[in-house]
Amino acid sequence: MIFSLPFTALTGLVLIFADPAIAAGIVDNHKSDLCSVAARRFPNRVSFPGSTEYENQKGSYYIAQARALAPDCLFRPTSTREVSDFVKLATAHDPCHQQRGNCSVSKPLFSMRGGGHTLWAGAAGAAGGLTVDLRGLNAVTLSADKKMASVGGGSNFADVYPQLVPHNLTVLGGRTPGVAAGGLHNGDAALYKQLIQIWEEGITAIKSMQGLRSQFYLQPSPVTNGTNSLGVPAGAADLVSASITINWDEAADDSMATGAAKAMMARQQAVVRSAGLSAPFVYLNYADVSQDPIRTYGQDNVRRLWAASRKYDPQGLWQTRVQGYKLPKV
């Protein structure tokens, strides 16, 4: 059995992270320039702090750390045309490129959100700037022969599956409510006992943490025909991914929890490597911010991704001005 061993971001209900109080009626001096421009270009699509829509959207992220981030505004498109027009608008109004400055993803121009289910803060939002909420792109349509389902990038799989049930069909998707199509599909016996034992020992070592909850997953990977950018070989039927999640209540325990998870994963990886069963692939949607999943796709695939990036994003907007995993240098 071949394993890939990513670990999830180690977050959960961090109760100490209450959302900051936001006064109603925030006006233009609290808006970033892009927020103001987008609000004029897309009437009734942009919400600001203090509005019910903003607070509801901000509060719907899966983890507390993401809910604690406060963007300047939220843009919720309802069509791919609006998304395309927004990207053009953002590029034209990016002061970094206009001034030929030192562009840095640490201060993103905007962020992208699907279901908001990724398990590390900053993957689908940022403090300040504009966040694009894609959940309005939620249409599900079947081809005439019912062999292909077209699913909007913001579609919640909890809503997708019931629409396909009457046709006795399903799609490969998320297993947890709140997971959206865009984010999920951008990423995708003695040995078992050893891995589980390592996890149990690691959790026992931090059992004093308040509100400690943890899960260790072993999940078979889908068999592909080789047509993918992930470096997963065609017909590989023995790939299994492992992931560790830890939830806790107190922010003071962040370092202890993340350190424990990294130590557990390192021990598990060593066991799998020693058995000659390690695979390089790291599943992006379960990876931690400290990992580099795209690099595990292999140099040939990374070069193809760079070629596509240079063709469709010649200014490097998605590599330098939007948060998330970036293409590694080759």
pLDDT for 201 equals 93
Cα separation, 288 vs 8, whole angstroms: 5
pLDDT for 64 equals 73
pLDDT for 98 equals 58
Question: How does pLDDT run across 259-276, given as a tens digit for each residue?
Answer: 999 999 999 989 888 888
pLDDT for 1 equals 25
Cα separation, 183 vs 173, whole angstroms: 11
Domain 28-137, classified CATH 3.30.465.10, yes or no: yes
121 neighbors 69 (Cβ within 8 angstroms): yes
169: nearest Cα among 197, 189, 195, 146: 146
The DSSP secondary structure of 179-235, one letter per residue, reads -BHHHHHHH--HHHHHHHHHHHHHHHHTTTSTT-EEEEEEEEPPP--S-SSS-PPTT
Q: Please report, for the chain, the start and end positions of each structural domain, with discontinuous segments joined by +.
A: 2-11+187-309, 28-137, 140-186
pLDDT for 109 equals 80
Question: How does pLDDT run across 301-322, given as a tens digit for each residue?
Answer: 999 999 999 999 998 998 988 8
Cα separation, 22 vs 19, whole angstroms: 9
Give Cβ neighbours of residue 65 (< 8 Å, ≥ 6 apart).
Answer: 11, 14, 17, 120, 121
Look at residue 140 and give its three-state secondary structure: strand
Look at residue 98 and give its three-state secondary structure: helix
Angstrom CA distances, 303 to 281, 296, 312, stand at 16, 12, 14
Q: Tell me the pTM.
A: 0.60
Residue 258 CA, distance from chain mean position: 18
Per-residue pLDDT tens listing for the chain (330 residues):
233 333 333 322 222 222 222 222 333 444 458 899 999 999 999 989 988 888 888 777 766 777 778 888 989 999 989 989 999 998 888 877 656 556 666 677 888 887 666 666 666 677 778 888 888 888 888 888 888 888 887 777 788 888 888 888 877 676 666 666 666 655 545 677 888 889 999 999 999 999 999 988 878 777 888 788 888 888 877 788 888 989 999 989 999 999 999 999 999 989 888 888 888 888 888 888 888 999 999 999 999 999 999 999 998 998 988 888 899 998
- Burial class, 110, CB count within 10 angstroms (exposed 0-12 / middle 13-18 / buried 19+): buried
18 neighbors 67 (Cβ within 8 angstroms): no
Question: How does pLDDT run across 110-131, given as a tens digit for each residue?
Answer: 888 876 666 666 666 777 788 8
What backbone phi and psi angles, to 5 degrees, belong to 162? -60, -30
Matching residue, tokens 């890939």: 4
